[in-house]
Amino acid sequence: MKKKALKAAVFGLALSVSATAMAATGMSGLTPLEGRPEDNSRAMLPKATYQLAASHKVEGRQGVASEGQYFWVSGSKTLAKYDKNWKLLKINKTPFDGYKIPSNHIGDIDVYNNEIYVGAENFMDGVGKDIQIAIHDGDTLKLKKSFPFEPASGQEECSGIAVNPDTQTVWMCSWVGEESGRYLYEYDLKTGKYLRKVHIQAPPQWVQGMAYFEGSFYLTADDGTADEIEPDHVYRVDIKPGASNAAVVLERTLDDVTFQGEIEGITFDKSTRQMLVHYNRGSRIVLGMVKGFYPGYDKEISEVFVYNIK
């Protein structure tokens, strides 16, 4: 028998055996993705669609949080509270009062049971140090207690923080790239004990904010070049119990904001089922610091964009 004929016969026999085995196990007629633990094609798609509904100017350039009838906004050195109509109720311009470890920077924030979770640090020209989890009262905006972070985790900066009420944990993300920016860091919500870090694959560039909503984590990334009028993005991360890594999914391109600048924090209003994204415009940002303004601007404007989820 010629080699080509021999190969064809062997291949035909292999197909016959394979088909018999599949029929015996009830697996015949499957597509390549079916019959696996999850359909990876669906897992890598956006979880929802988001329609811009409104925008609100706010005091504070870092983050936003929502719970019940109120919103909270963080600046680098401020904490503010708004009512449901975005009327400013209270602002704390000395939020670091009472800190045992000195800080000069607040990133994105979260709120849980009327307590504001702050990832505080000393930040200058792209470098963060002395990270801590600070918890403030949702009414007075003053410090209640704080937890130190675990240096052995490898985290070098904290740009955002999120509470997962389902697992009673609190998570932090890092704006600094390389190893620090490739992970999400988990702590016990009650004790502040460091639990683990999860490798996000592939990590977005310049992670700014973080939120948890309906089983998923959402990250904002300042990965668009403002000078080129490139939009920034919202990403989703679904972390399985006990997993050491999780895939990053592009959830939304922010191509409908007032002006392409710097994306910051993110939160979700569960009462209205809306996504809220914090954005700064007008200022030029270099290594996380304001370095002048774009034409037509003489100050930075901070806004929260509200998206209906469908």
43 φ, ψ to 5°?
Answer: -65, -25
Query: Which position has the higher pLDDT, 298 or 25?
Result: 298
**Residue 291 has what pLDDT?**
85
CB 184 within 8 A of CB 197: yes
**Residue 176 has what pLDDT?**
84
**Residue 38 has what pLDDT?**
52
Q: How far is the C-alpha of 105 from the C-alpha of 271, rounded, in Å?
A: 30
**Residue 126 has what pLDDT?**
67
Q: Which of 290, 271, 296, 284 is nearest to 306 (CA)?
A: 271
* Radius of gyration over every alpha carbon of the chain, rounded to an integer in angstroms: 23
Contacts 24+ apart (CB under 8 A), 245-248: 245/198, 245/199, 245/200, 245/201, 246/184, 246/198, 246/199, 246/200, 246/201, 247/43, 247/44, 247/200, 247/201, 248/200, 248/201, 248/202, 248/203, 248/204, 248/219
Rounded mean pLDDT of the chain?
87
**Residue 68 has what pLDDT?**
83
Name the one residue in this structure whose structure tokens are 């290594």: 287
Question: What does the DSSP 8-state code read for residue 101?
Answer: S
Residue 15 has pLDDT above 90, yes or no: no
**Residue 40 has what pLDDT?**
65
Residues 6+ apart with CB under 8 A from 195: 169, 186, 187, 188
pLDDT tens digits for range 141-163: 999 999 988 999 999 999 999 99
Please name the amino acid found at residue 51. Answer: Q
**Residue 20 has what pLDDT?**
40
Q: How far is the C-alpha of 281 from the C-alpha of 300, rounded, in Å?
A: 6
3-state secondary structure of 10: helix
**Residue 39 has what pLDDT?**
56
Q: Which of 124, 92, 120, 125 is nearest to 108 (CA)?
A: 120
104-118, 131-145, 170-184: range with lowest mean pLDDT? 170-184
pLDDT tens digits for range 58-105: 999 999 999 989 999 999 999 999 999 999 999 999 999 999 998 999
pLDDT tens digits for range 24-41: 433 333 334 344 445 566
**Residue 5 has what pLDDT?**
39
Residue 53 has pLDDT above 50, yes or no: yes
44-53, 84-93, 121-130, 272-281: range with lowest mean pLDDT? 121-130
Q: What is the mean pLDDT of residues 196-200?
A: 97
Q: Which domains does the chain have, with CATH numbers?
A: 50-309 (2.115.10.20)
4-13, 197-206, 229-238, 267-276: range with lowest mean pLDDT? 4-13
